[in-house]
Each structure stands twice: as structure tokens, then as C-alpha cells.
Amino acid sequence: MSVIKDEKKLLSTIKRIDEKIDKNNDQKIVAFFESLGLTEREDVPKNFLDWDTILIVVPDRHISHELKYYKYSISRLFFVTNPYADQIHIYDFDQWKSVTRNKTQFQIREMMRTSFGGVKKNTSEND
């Protein structure tokens, strides 16, 4: 005998509530991205809500610290600081995981120079 009177009803109620939570979280993500100006940019994929987790690449620790609160109040967001990035970028976190799997920190840092928001600097700019 089960402690739960009607497990099927409970599971269906939980599923409906979870769907509402997911919908509200999607609204939070869109509002957050709008406030960052990401939804207006051409280089930002429009299907970001389809991703399980969204990787947000920020160019410096100051921005990362400023956005830290949203990391905890909006689920499905993951932040990475890329000092080689010129602006905030978003990617599918699954793509990040597959590219960085089995790599050392040094290899990841080198990879970030030209990918995940990294911009290769012209040597003439440094002269």
C-alpha cells in the first residue's frame, strides 16, 4: 500500500506546475537578454530558448560580478569569463561541454582566444 493516495494525479499536477515554471523562466531569460541588448543583435541566435542550458560569455570579471545575481535567480544560465571577448556572447552550453571535454585549463584558455567570443587581435593594433 502506497502512502500517496493518488500518485498519478500528483505526478500530473507536478508536471503542470513544472511546465508553468519553465514558461516563467523562459520569460525571465528573454527579459534578461533584452536588458542586455542581446535580442537586438544579429549575431545572437534566435533559438536560444531551445537549448537546455545557455552559456553566457562575458568579456571581464567586472561584468561577470555585475551579472552574478541573475546567475542564481534565473535557471538554465551558465557564465564564463573570456578576457579575449569584445562583448557578451551566448552559446549552447552542450556545445561548450563537448568542445572543452578532456582539455586542460591552459588548452581551454588558448581555445578561447579565437572561439566562444574570442577575437583574434591584429598585430598591427599592438604596435
pLDDT at 1: 58
Instruction: Give per-residue pLDDT as tens, 14-44.
Output: 999 999 999 999 999 999 999 999 999 998 9
CA–CA dist 57, 88 (Å, integer): 6
Q: Where are the domains of the chain?
A: 7-113
Lowest mean pLDDT among 67-71, 74-78, 119-123: 119-123
Alpha-helical segments (H) within 1-127:
7-35, 61-73, 93-100, 105-111, 123-126
pTM (two decimals): 0.77
Higher-confidence residue of 124 and 50: namely 50
CA–CA dist 70, 12 (Å, integer): 30
CA–CA dist 103, 32 (Å, integer): 31
